[in-house]
Amino acid sequence: DTGVSQDPRHKITKRGQNVTFRCDPISEHNRLYWYRQTLGQGPEFLTYFQNEAQLEKSRLLSDRFSAERPKGSFSTLEIQRTEQGDSAMYLCASSSSGTTDTQYFGPGTRLTVL
């Protein structure tokens, strides 16, 4: 499978715990994006990398959230001291700057904070 993959697919945690999600983009894609989707809404942009550089962060990305892409390949999104309001689907997408920059999405990680 050469699509975008995310791990885990589901995560249940207790309020106050830290969680980390991983995204593996399509191998030749140099751009990687994180979005958050809550029930009944469209995805909202969180942050974006080109290679290993984090080029844009949304105001939604509070200081409890941190994203990395250390070698320009996979990325991790960490949420510290989770809150119930963090419950959502976290989506990763990747694209190539050399083409029309169409973003392809992974299956998402569903986070439930109890």
Partner 1 sequence: GNSVTQMEGPVTLSEEAFLTINCTYTATGYPSLFWYVQYPGEGLQLLLKATKADDKGSNKGFEATYRKETTSFHLEKGSVQVSDSAVYFCALNHPGQGAQKLVFGQGTRLTINP
* SS3 state of residue 92: strand
Out of 2, 14, 27, 42, point to the residue binding partner 1 (CB under 8 A).
Answer: 42
Out of 28, 78, 83, 101, point to the residue binding partner 1 (CB under 8 A).
Answer: 101
Burial status of residue 94 (CB atoms within 10 A of its CB: 0-12, 13-18, 19 or more) = buried
Q: Does 107 bind partner 1 (CB under 8 A)?
A: yes
Cβ atoms of residues 9 and 108 within 8 Å: yes
Q: Does 41 bind partner 1 (CB under 8 A)?
A: yes
Looking at the Cβ atoms of 74 and 104, the one nearer to partner 1 is 104
Cβ atoms of residues 6 and 108 within 8 Å: yes
List residues near partner 1 by CB under 8 A.
Answer: 31, 33, 35, 40-45, 48, 55-56, 58, 91, 93, 95, 100-108
